[in-house]
Amino acid sequence: MAPVHTLAVHERTVLLDTVLRPHRSLGPAGFRLLMGAVAAFCLTIGIVFASLGAWPVFAFLGLDVLLVFLAFRWSYRSARERERIRLDTEALEIVRTGADGRARSWRFQPHWLRIDFDESGDPSDQLRLSSHGRSLVIGAFLAPEERAKCAKLLRDGIRRWRSLPPGFAAPS
> Under a CB-based contact definition with an 8 Å cutoff, are residues 42 and 65 in contact?
yes
Residue 118 bridge partners (DSSP): none
- pLDDT tens for 52-78 read 998 899 889 999 999 999 998 888 887
pLDDT tens, residue by residue, 81-96: 899 999 998 899 999 9
Q: How confident is the model at residue 155 (pLDDT cuts 50, 70, 90)?
A: very high
| 115 and 88 within one domain | yes
Per-residue burial over 83-119, b = 16 or more CB atoms within 10 Å of its CB, e = otherwise:
bbbbbbbbbbebebbeeeeeeeebebebeebebebee
Rounded to 5 degrees, φ, ψ at 81 are -65, 150
- Which pTM value belongs to this model? 0.70
- What is residue 140's three-state secondary structure? coil
Domain that holds residue 64: 28-78
Check whether residue 69 and residue 93 sit in a common domain: no
Q: Is the dihedral of CA 50, 56, 57, 62 positive or negative?
A: positive
Do 87 and 130 lie in one domain? The reply is: yes
Nearest CA among 108, 82, 79, 84 for reference residue 18: 84
Distance CA(34)–CA(172), nearest Å, equals 53
61 contacts 41 by C-beta, under 8 angstroms: no
Among 53-67, 110-124, 126-140, the range scoring the smallest mean pLDDT is: 110-124
Q: What's the CATH number where 116 sits?
A: 2.30.29.30
- Say if 38 falls within a structural domain: yes
Residue 3 has pLDDT above 80, yes or no: no
Number of domains in the chain: 2
Classify residue 9: in a domain, yes or no. Answer: no
Distance (Å, whole) CA 101 – CA 99: 5
